[in-house]
């Protein structure tokens, strides 16, 4: 993940299976908005990362690629420090797309954000 937004935001993958993904991200100067709270965009990057790598774990990685196609989120609580954890599970795994449900919580297990991400599964371009 070197040289990607995953590295830039210090997103760590704790679990990666086709049926569940867990990633963490710090709430710090790289992920906060100007008022000192976790930026909603950073939460979306974390959620889409979970969905994309989860879908990637289910495909033929030599022939296909998984990329976010649509994402939505509800930001339910703010966070100003610590680590947030995203847990994603697939709601649908098809040949051309996958839909993932992602919940982001803080260190006290309080729900920060809920997101749903549709991932496109496409042939790799040569």
User: Could you confirm whether 48 is annotated as catalytic?
Assistant: yes
What stretches of the chain show up as alpha helix (H) in DSSP?
Answer: 5-8, 40-56
Q: Report d(CA 77, CA 35) in Å as an integer.
A: 14
- Among positive and negative, which fits the CA dihedral 31, 69, 61, 17? positive
pTM of the model: 0.96
User: What are the sequence ranges of the domains in the chain?
Assistant: 5-123
- pLDDT tens per residue, range 14-64: 999 999 999 999 999 999 999 999 999 999 999 999 999 999 999 999 999
Q: Determine which one of 48, 62, 64, 107 is catalytic.
A: 48
Residues forming beta bridges with residue 35, ordered by sequence position: none
Fold of 5-123: Thiol Ester Dehydrase; Chain A (3.10.129)
Rounded Cα–Cα distance for residues 36 and 63 (Å): 42
């Amino acid at each position: 993940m070197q040289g990607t937004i995953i590295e830039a935001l210090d997103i760590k993958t704790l679990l990666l299976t086709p049926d569940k993904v867990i990633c963490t991200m710090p709430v710090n100067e790289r992920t906060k908005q100007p008022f000192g709270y976790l930026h909603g965009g950073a939460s979306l990057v974390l959620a889409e990362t979970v969905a994309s790598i989860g879908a990637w774990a289910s495909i033929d990685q030599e022939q296909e690629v998984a990329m976010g196609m649509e994402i939505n989120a509800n930001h339910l609580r703010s966070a100003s420090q610590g680590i947030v954890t995203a847990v994603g599970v697939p709601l649908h795994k098809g040949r051309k797309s996958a839909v993932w449900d992602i919940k982001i919580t803080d260190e006290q297990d309080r729900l920060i954000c809920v997101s749903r991400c549709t991932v496109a599964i496409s042939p790799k371009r040569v």
